[in-house]
Amino acid sequence: MTPAVSLLDWLLIAFTLAAAGYALVAAFAPRPRTPRTAARDGFEPVSVLKPLCGAEPHLYENLSTFCEQRHPRHEVLFGVASAADPAIAVVERLRADYPECDIGLVIDARVHGKNLKVSNLINLAERAKYDRIVIADSDIAVKPDYLERVTAPLADASVGVVTCLYHARSVGGFWTRIGAQFVDAWFAPSVRITHLGGSSRFGFGATLALTRDTLDRIGGLSALKDELADDFWLAELPRRLGRRTVLSEVEVATDVIEASFGPLWHRETRWLRTIRSLNPAGFAFLFITFTAPWLAIGAALALSLDGTVAGLVAGWAAAAGAFGRLVL
C-alpha cells in the first residue's frame, strides 16, 4: 500500500530541499578572490596588535606564526593588563627564539570602557609605529605570506577594513571536535554565502587590517570601548563612512579549546545572541543553515514515504545535501 503524503511531509521536504541547496552552494560557491595588486602594495610597514589574557593552549605556537612572516618591515605588539599574566612568559620566549623580529610587550592596566579586550587594544595602538595596522586574536595561526596578502588591498583608498575567514582546529577531545564542526560546517559556509550574495556586513577578530587614517576617522578604538561585538563594529563604522570591507582570500586557523559541553554551549550561544542583536532578520532564518537535522529528516521521510514522488524527492535532497556537507 502506498503511504499517504501529508501537508506536513511536504513542508518538511521543502525545508530539506532548502537545506540541501544551501549545503551545495556553500560547498561549490567560488571562494573569495582578493583583487590583484602590485607586489609592493603588501610591503608597506605594518604594526600587528595582539591582545593577550592568560596562557591558553598552543599560545606559543600560534603567536610564533606572526614572528615568522616574510614581510620585510613589521612589528608585533603583545598586550596584557597585568604584570602577573602568564602570557608574558610566552612573549619572552618568543623574544628569545625570534631575535630578528621586532617584538614589543605592553603591560598596561588602564581600562577605557566595558570591553576589556578593546581596552587592551587601545593601550597597544598608542605604541604602534606604523600606519598599517593588523589586529588578530591570540588563538590565530597564519602562513608566512599572511601579512603581505592581507594588507595589500589597503593600497586602495576605498578599502576600510580587510578581514579573514578561518577554519577550526580542535584541541582536545570530543567537544572540541564538535566546536570545530560548528565553525567549519556552519559558520564559514554562512559567511561565504552571505558574501556571494553581495553583502560584506561582517568583520572577524581572526584578522582586521586597516590604516591609521581609517581608524582615526571612526574616532579610534575608543569608539568600540563599550561594544560587545567589537570585531563587527570595527568594520561597520568605516562602512558607514563609505569605505569597503574586503573579505580576503586568505583563511587562517583558529583553535577550539572548549573541552566540555558547558563552555562550548556558552561560547556558541553567546555568538548566536550576538548575531541576533546585529541582524534579527537573518537570525530568524538561521534554522535552515543548520543542515544536518534537515538532511536527517529528509532521509527518514525517504524511507517512510518509499514508493511516492515525495519520498523520491526527499531522498534525493538528503543525498545531495549530504554530498555538499562532505565536500565542505
How many domains does one find in the chain? 2
Q: What is the pLDDT of residue 37?
A: 57
For residue 197, with 0-12 CB atoms within 10 Å meaning exposed, 13-18 middle and 19 or more buried, which class applies? exposed
Q: Which residue from 197, 243, 195 is spatially nearest to 217, judged by alpha carbons?
A: 243
Based on the fold, state whether residues 149 and 233 are members of the same structural domain: yes
Q: Is residue 190 part of a domain?
A: yes
Residue 171's pLDDT band (cuts 50, 70, 90): confident
Residue 27's pLDDT band (cuts 50, 70, 90): confident
Look at residue 4 and tell me whether its pLDDT is greater than 60. Answer: yes
Based on the fold, state whether residues 139 and 25 are members of the same structural domain: no
Based on the fold, state whether residues 63 and 122 are members of the same structural domain: yes
Q: Is residue 271 part of a domain?
A: no
Based on the fold, state whether residues 98 and 24 are members of the same structural domain: no
According to DSSP, the residues that pair with 78 across neighbouring strands are: 50, 105
Q: What is the pLDDT of residues 105-156, one digit of tens each?
A: 999 999 999 999 999 999 999 999 999 999 999 999 999 999 999 999 999 9
Q: Treating both helix axes as pointing N-terminal to C-terminal, what angle do 59-67 and 87-97 enclose, rounded to 10 degrees? A: 40
Based on the fold, state whether residues 13 and 60 are members of the same structural domain: no
Q: What is the pLDDT of residue 249?
A: 93
Distance CA 168, CA 62 (A): 13
| Final residue in a domain of this structure, among 236, 257, 278 | 257
Distance CA 287, CA 291 (A): 8
Distance CA 311, CA 317 (A): 10
Distance CA 220, CA 168 (A): 30
Based on the fold, state whether residues 11 and 144 are members of the same structural domain: no
Q: Is residue 303 part of a domain?
A: yes
Residue 35's pLDDT band (cuts 50, 70, 90): low
Based on the fold, state whether residues 108 and 149 are members of the same structural domain: yes
Residue 17's pLDDT band (cuts 50, 70, 90): very high
Would you state the cell numbers that stand for residue 200, as one nine-digit string? Answer: 560584506
Please report, for the domain that includes residue 122, its CATH number. Answer: 3.90.550.10
Could you tell me the CA-to-CA distances from 75 to 70, 84, 210, 250, 290 in Å, in that order? 12, 24, 15, 20, 40
Q: What is the pLDDT of residues 254-310, one digit of tens each?
A: 999 888 899 888 888 887 888 788 777 777 777 788 888 989 999 999 999 998 999
According to DSSP, the residues that pair with 163 across neighbouring strands are: 208, 247
Would you state the cell numbers that stand for residue 182, as one nine-digit string? Answer: 560548528
Distance CA 63, CA 60 (A): 5
Q: Is residue 1 part of a domain?
A: no
Pure H helices in the chain: 7-28, 59-67, 87-97, 116-125, 146-151, 174-181, 188-196, 212-217, 230-240, 261-278, 280-284, 286-289, 291-304, 309-327
3-state SS assignment for residue 37: coil
Q: Is residue 34 part of a domain?
A: no
Q: Is residue 95 part of a domain?
A: yes
- Give pairs for 195-199: CB < 8 Å, separation 24+: 195/32, 195/247, 196/25, 196/29, 196/30
Q: Is residue 176 part of a domain?
A: yes
| Final residue in a domain of this structure, among 257, 275, 308 | 257
Contact 34, 148 (CB under 8 A): no
Residue 205 CB neighbour total at 10 angstroms? 22
Q: Which residue from 195, 201, 161, 186 is spatially nearest to 325, judged by alpha carbons?
A: 186
Look-up: residue for cell 586574536? 137
Based on the fold, state whether residues 87 and 213 are members of the same structural domain: yes
Distance CA 136, CA 147 (A): 11
- CB neighbour list of residue 99: distance below 8 Å, 6 or more residues apart: none
Based on the fold, state whether residues 153 and 97 are members of the same structural domain: yes
Based on the fold, state whether residues 113 and 72 are members of the same structural domain: yes
Based on the fold, state whether residues 68 and 190 are members of the same structural domain: yes
Residue 278 CB neighbour total at 10 angstroms? 16
Would you state the cell numbers that stand for residue 254, as one nine-digit string? Answer: 583558529
Look at residue 79 and tell me whether its pLDDT is greater than 60. Answer: yes
Q: Is residue 285 part of a domain?
A: no
3-state SS assignment for residue 247: strand
Residue 250 lies in domain: 46-257
Based on the fold, state whether residues 318 and 188 are members of the same structural domain: no
Contact 66, 150 (CB under 8 A): no
